[in-house]
Structure 1
Amino acid sequence: MRLRPPLQPPSVRDFVTFEEHVEGVRRSIDGITGVPDAWHDAPTFYFANPCAVIGPSDPVPVPPGCQALDFELEVAAVIGREGRDLTPEQARDHIIGYTIYNDWSARDLQSREMQVGLGPCKGKDAATTLGPYLVTADELESYRDGDGFLRLALTAEINGEVVGRDLLSNMSWTFEEMTAYASRGTHVRPGDVLGSGTCGNGGCLAELWGIRGRQDPAPLKPGDTVAITVEGIGTISNTVVPGAEPVAIPRARRRPRTRP
């Protein structure tokens, strides 16, 4: 039996709430140390592709043109009730549960396209794993620490070798605070997915590349299997397979700046 994704979300917001991850990936992709000062202001997110969601054991094709495929270990909250302009206290009643989230990333494509200043495009467009289950919020209440964070152990393995370990409670914002921010001036709706962002301490390869100054471990390739385990939720395991060749698109052409 093959498990499908636990839901088909109408929208996917991926946050970046782990400071250690920001430090490592920024060093890897941009060659800059530290985190932007603006990162501290609010739990920033981008919208991911809800049509790219795959199941907990589905194969992951290499994105067209990608030479530096990476995984990202995250946990996602799932909205169960519509709300707008919520407070963090109100937001808790709008979260129905949690699932594992693997944000597959084409790091070489991401690094190039983000120089335009619009954020991730095809670098984050190919696949997002959700699963193996949607664990209801009440089932994880016993894992809350004194500050309201979920203290869940996180582990990432490539081909059976552990490459990352962290705690979900190392997030800088709670899921309730993230939900409140997502609902500011708009609606969150049932099925919306809010990713925690990638954890630190080996939650993705790019962080390790930034720390070590080289691509060690090597980028993912066909045949590699990435397994992610989150305490209280379960394990997802996806194997990389060859992908399609990119369809050629011409570079920008200079056009006359004529006016009517």
Structure 2
Amino acid sequence: MTEFETLTFAESGPVTSIVLNRPDAANGMNDTLTRELAVAAALCDTESTKVVTITGAGRFFCAGGDLKAMSAAPNPGAFVKGIADDLHRALSTFARMDAVVIVSVNGTAAGAGFSLAATGDLALAAESAKFTMAYTKAGLSPDGSSSYYLPRLIGLRRTQELMLTNRTLTAAEALDWGLLTEVVPDADLAGRTEDLATQMAATSRTSNGTVKRLLLGTYRTGLEEQMELESQYIRDSARSADGQEGIAAFVGKRPPVFG
């Protein structure tokens, strides 16, 4: 188990668990948390990691940037830019690793917390969770990749509403809008997250990584280019150890055992 100041990081076989751990500050993102999150993301980007889960300690998932820390900084602009840069480095690593990232929203996700929630490959939330952008309430603008992911997940018009009016969504509304994979009772969230992580840990890391790469590129490529990428990737998949095992298991009518 790797020790951090503002988050917990634990590895259990192919599953790594990250918990934002500033409960007294609503897990707000200060310079230490985002720097440590970038380090934690890099530690997850290994061949042995197949699943990463991210949740928060206490009542909040993450209330966004730590405005108290920002107000105390001698140069607020440089301070906030540093926080955003570290957060973005973490999110880029999560997006481009082969491991499936499961975000488990245990409470309010605001600002950068909302942005982080939107980046999960799979996103679970407790019934009591709430989602709000909140950036413009503080005279700030969105970060944490939300201007990339939200239009793709829910469309431009709904993104405009969230970012400009700071509307708060319930977990049920977030599910209906397409922000979440699943909503579960509060008491069941940790168990459901663990079950889903176990399920995904039995799948093919290389196949999952290919899915992530294809989907990241789908909005910037044309039809023929995307299909050519699919052809190349499925060729490489068929050559891989996981591909060989998956095909053999199907032919042999047995469950696959992926590395």
TM-score bin, normalised by smaller chain: under 0.3
Higher helix share: 2
TM-score by length of 1: 0.27
**Greater RCO, CA 8 A, separation 6+:** 1
Higher strand share: 1
